[in-house]
Amino acid sequence: MSVKVRLSIMMFLQYAVWGAWYVTVGNYMTAIGMQSEIYWAFTVSPIASIISPFFLGMIADRYFSTEKVLGFLHIIGGVAMFISPMFAEGPLASPTLFIVFLLINMLCYMPTVGLTNSLAFNHLSNQEKEFPIIRAFGTFGWIAAGVLVSKVLGADLTSMPLKIAGILGILLGIFSFVLPHTPPPALGEKASFRKIIGIDAFNKIKSKPFYVFIISSFLICIPLSVYYAYAPVFVNSSGIENPGFVMSFGQMSEFVFILIMPLLFPILGIKKMLLTGMFAWVLRYLLFALGAPDQVVWMILAGVILHGICYDFFFVAGFIYVDKKATKDIRAQAQGFVVLATYGFGMLIGAQLAGYLFNGMVDASSPEVFNQWQNFWYVPAVLAAIVMVFFAAMFKDKEVEKLEGAN
């Protein structure tokens, strides 16, 4: 089996593991009467995102080959995920233990996101051309998992997606041991706390537009958590069948828009690309809010499909912006700092806020539930709009604009 085939299978399984359970867990928890704890299931991921850079920087990158670390982490995480439903329902039911096992899984899973990218880069001769193709298999994996658990098995409201995710994780763990050998990239180097979390990169860039970008990225991830945690629950409560499958439309649009991005970059430039992503955020939540009272299907579906613009035009464009701002020696640190600020602290605060809003505003048994959903979605719409206005007013990077003009 060629290296590229093995890397493609690795990336497919990597995101199939996550996609199999992440979209459906809220509806499963609602079905078993645990809806007030949904936000905790979406808090474990940002906690793991905050912790994983320390594991990668201090242990994985210095002492063990990448493929072996991947193998052990996926097997341990897969086992934790597979047995987690034991603590969701039945004689051992305990919301706390259920969330703890989801946390164990994500503590094992989140470091592997960076490790799979690192391993792939190490074995591709032309990274710029070959990596996007390999990474596309990850998107296919997420979509395939959503189609399987929702459309094929109709298991949105059951524990089956968690068990499937666990099995896929164990299989990926076993498969990892036949991946190309990749020695620890930082063998013999001294670990630095400031370097690991990207503070050195943050200080070296010393750019007001970059600081505005970081603040905006952090803030926009607060309403993003509301979408990840409660959009599938909203879709299901609106009477739309196979909500997990419907949510995969967002990943399908993500794939389409990432192909369009290279054509739009020279026309729009970085600021307009980022603002387009933010505007799509606002529009998505408004569509949910306006469509909620009468369960207008096209509005809800349009809100889901907008995920492609929301993600690609902000996050992918944002990573490209950071790449332009940072010098080669601090590029990886700078990207890591952005991930820590967004997927870590931003989504952590967002998940907690989302739970507070949902538990305080939405009562599934109330005859006014869809009006409540409308009020619920207005909150992230307003938050995203405030961030968009702040970014539009404060962000102006002449240095990057000159680079764009030169290209």
End-to-end CA separation in angstroms for the chain: 39
> Of 44-48, 128-132, 194-198, 267-271, where does mean pLDDT reach its minimum?
194-198
What length does the chain have? 407
> Of 167-171, 255-259, 322-326, 365-369, where does mean pLDDT reach its minimum?
322-326
pLDDT band of residue 321 (cuts 50, 70, 90) is: confident
Residues with Cβ < 8 Å from 289, sequence gap 6 or more?
373, 374, 375, 376, 377, 378, 381
Is residue 301's pLDDT more than 50?
yes
Is residue 403's pLDDT more than 60?
no
Rounded to whole angstroms, the Cα distance separating 322 from 213 reads 9
Q: Which CATH number fits domain 198-407: 3.40.640.10, 1.20.1250.20, 3.30.56.10, 2.170.130.10?
A: 1.20.1250.20
> Of 62-66, 176-180, 196-200, 321-325, where does mean pLDDT reach its minimum?
196-200
Q: What is the pLDDT of residue 41?
A: 96
Burial category of 255 from C-beta neighbours within 10 Å (exposed 0-12, middle 13-18, buried 19 and up): middle
Percent of the chain scoring above 90 in pLDDT: 62
Rounded to whole angstroms, the Cα distance separating 367 from 33 reads 18
- Region 1-184: CATH code: 1.20.1250.20
Confidence (pTM): 0.89
Extents of the domains making up the chain: 1-184, 198-407
Same fold for the pair 1-184 and 198-407: yes
pLDDT band of residue 128 (cuts 50, 70, 90) is: low
Rounded to whole angstroms, the Cα distance separating 322 from 370 reads 41
pLDDT tens, residue by residue, 83-112: 999 999 999 999 999 999 999 999 999 888
Rounded to whole angstroms, the Cα distance separating 192 from 333 reads 11
Strands, DSSP E only, in 260-324? none
